[in-house]
Chains A and B, each alone.
Chain A
Amino acid sequence: METLSLLADGFSVALTPSNLFLAVVGCILGTVIGALPGLGPSNGVAILIPLAFSLGLDATAALVLMTAVYYGAMYGGRISSILLNIPGDEPALMTTLDGYPMAKAGRASDALVLSGVASFVGAFLATIGLILLAPMLARIAFLFGPAEYFALYLLAFSTLGGIASNNQAKAAIAACIGLGISMIGLDNNTGIARLTMGELHLMDGVDFLVAIVGLFAVTEVFVFIESHGKNSALGVKLGKITIPVKDILRCKWTMLRSTFIGFIAGVLPGAGASLGSFMAYSAEKSLVRDNSQFGKGDVRGVAAPEAGNNAAAGGALVPMLTLGVPGSGTTAVLLALLMTLNITPGPTLFTDRPDVVWGLIASLLIANVVLLLLNVPMVRLFVHILSVPPWVLLPGVTMISFVGIFSLSGSTFDLLLMIGFGAMGFFLRKLDVPTVPIILGILLGNNMEDSLRRAMVISGGEWTYLFSSGIAIGLWVAAVLGFVAPMFLRGKIRKPQAITD
């Protein structure tokens, strides 16, 4: 009951007409920013922080605007994933796998509506989880030491083979490319540069956004030059836009499961939204009875990552608010915002500044509802992107990508790197080497290495430390099963399909 009255206080702060207006503006801006390749939730929020200050917003209003942008960008990332096969930001990466095939089959609007609903379910339930469980959940972060994190990353990689490729060896090569790239830069454990070849721009490593935009957006341009725009989702005849009630209902358990997985991934500071959407997708693929359509336009393959990444976005607020530890890039920006507003998140925030916490939670709920209401009707608008002729759309996407990447560091070097990734992506695509594992490798490689090395420092090189807790053992078992199971199940699952083909 106390929670409800606190929440009511939060709403009374956040629900003023001007704040509501800011929420709508933030949601629209966020959706646009999320959909543009190269601009994702975290730089979206960062871009708009100066705006919040120049408008002279007070703390609550600034928070309302920023959370609307944050959630808006999480929603928006899926749009370009589905329509163009170009993830608008890294958590939307997994949505390309089934979303784009759906669009190619003329079901773009279904995919967009479904993913919008999945995003809403994920984000909404995660916010509820945040309300009810935040202080308790913060304790989960304490349970995860280096050994547990290492096992978690291992689990992520062990299920890679089952994703997006017919050829396991090629998926392994792709993962190695990503992991190899992630090693470039300063070695966190010694402070010494590795594999940078003396290039100062590489000291901080390769930004995965440069890789994503290169491997997806720039590659797409080359593919279009080759095919003159044939065999894509562009110009595919679209059916009438309806709400795919049947698909939504079919995905209800998918959404709930994925929300749970995503939320937990978000709560762990070392995991984040990308891992949330990835784990949700691979868990769903291995749990459902008939997964033969995954990667070819299965509706559950669209719902799972979207529910997962939006739930993770909500979950990531738990450690940010209760421990002052940002669980994702975007929460790091929100943390910065809170600190510039003279609010220091930490274990005492809930008791010291309930107005801020509950105002924030209320604005999250508001942003969510606004986004759902905006996103479903806006699908009509989004799918019009597909009727833009490719000779306008593709140069446009490229230019947007350039500006997005240029805004990271203002460096020409990153742009050249991005073009390099684009060219590499073209060859890899021709050779049927999946690019998703590359991005995951870049995203998680460093963390995986760091956690192993930290664990070994703590234990003095004793390997058994990696299995020293129940959580670690459980994750190892899951990882081994995740790696081995597909090898045995493959024969059983693929065979009947071969007959129907």
Chain B
Amino acid sequence: MSDRLFGLVVIIVAAGYIFAASLTEVSFLSDPVGSKTFPYLIGGVAILAALAVMLRPDAEPDWPSAGTFARIALAVAVLVAYAYMLRPFGFIIPTALAAGMLSYQIRPRAIAAMLTGVGLSVGLFAIFKFALGLGLVAFPKGWF
């Protein structure tokens, strides 16, 4: 079932891809192959391969429980928030928060997770800043 669904998703995405490729502006100075041929081919091969997967699906994978999915979704949310915070809030604070939360999700012990977060954040900052010389900013401008 999963493979059939996967095949269907691939076909829908490939069809969308082919449609998006068909919107490519055509250049006045076009070459014999053109901008669209390769994307069409790729989309076409993907659809064929997806059909093959749908016709001969593999055994069902072990999907994690709904609870696990929720935890993975939360991890994605943490990472997205981290991505947005990195620029405005400097390195140390967002990194400590994100690393701590990820650590908590792998092993739910609050204190250990907090220590991991702070330790990683400060330790990595030191490595990147002083050993590799990257221009990281510890805290937002004007805090100290």
Q: Which residues of A contact B (CB under 8 A)?
A: 29, 32-33, 39, 47-48, 50-51, 166-167, 169-170, 172-173, 176-177, 179-180, 183, 187, 189-195, 197, 218, 221-222, 224-226, 228-229, 389-392, 394-396, 398-400, 402-403, 406-407, 410, 412, 415-416, 419, 422-423, 426, 430-433, 449, 452-453, 456-457, 460-461
Contact = CB atoms under 8 A, between A and B. Distances in A.
Contacts of A176: 14, 42-43, 45-46, 49
Contacts of B83: 402, 412, 415-416, 419
Given A416-B83, A419-B76, A430 B35 contact: no
Contacts of A192: 24-25, 27, 35
Interface string B117-144: 1011100100010011110100000000
Contact of A226 (B3, B68, B87, B99): B68
A395 B103 CA distance: 6
Given A190-B27, A415-B86, A430 B20 contact: no
B134 A407 contact: yes
Contacts of B105: 225
Contacts of B103: 391-392, 394-395
A29 to B, nearest CB: 7
Contacts of A180: 14, 17, 39, 42-43, 46
Given A172-B49, A225-B75, A432 B58 contact: yes
B45 to A, nearest CB: 5
A170 B6 CA distance: 10
B52 to A, nearest CB: 4
B121 A399 contact: yes
B82 A195 contact: no
Contact of A399 (B2, B99, B131): B99
B93 interface: no
Given A226-B64, A229-B106, A406-B86, A190 B42 contact: no
B53 A173 contact: yes
Interface string B57-91: 01001111000100110011001101110110001
Nearest to A416: B83
Contacts of A430: 2, 61-63
Given A172-B49, A173-B46, A399-B98, A194 B117 contact: no
9 contacts: A170-B53, A180-B43, A180-B46, A194-B24, A195-B39, A226-B64, A407-B134, A412-B84, A456-B33
Contacts of A407: 134
Contacts of A403: 91, 124, 128, 134, 136
B89 to A, nearest CB: 12
Given A170-B53, A180-B17, A228-B107, A457 B32 contact: yes
Contact of B3 (A32, A416, A431): A431
Interface of B: 2-3, 6, 10, 14, 17, 20-21, 24-25, 27, 29-33, 35, 38-39, 42-43, 45-46, 48-50, 52-53, 56, 58, 61-64, 68, 71-72, 75-76, 79-80, 82-84, 86-87, 91, 95, 98-100, 102-107, 109, 112-113, 116-117, 119-121, 124, 128, 131-134, 136
B38 A449 contact: yes
A471 B27 CA distance: 33
A47 B133 contact: yes
Given A179-B42, A426-B72, A391 B107 contact: yes
A189 B35 contact: yes
Given A392-B119, A430-B61, 14 more contacts: A32-B131, A47-B133, A48-B133, A170-B49, A187-B24, A225-B68, A391-B106, A391-B109, A395-B103, A398-B102, A410-B87, A415-B83, A419-B76, A432-B58
A255 B72 CA distance: 41
Given A173-B50, A191-B27, A225-B75, A33 B58 contact: no
Nearest to A195: B20
Contacts of B39: 180, 183, 194-195
B80 to A, nearest CB: 6
B87 A412 contact: yes
A127 to B, nearest CB: 27
A69 to B, nearest CB: 11
Contacts of A195: 17, 20-21, 24, 39
A34 to B, nearest CB: 12
Contacts of A189: 31, 33, 35
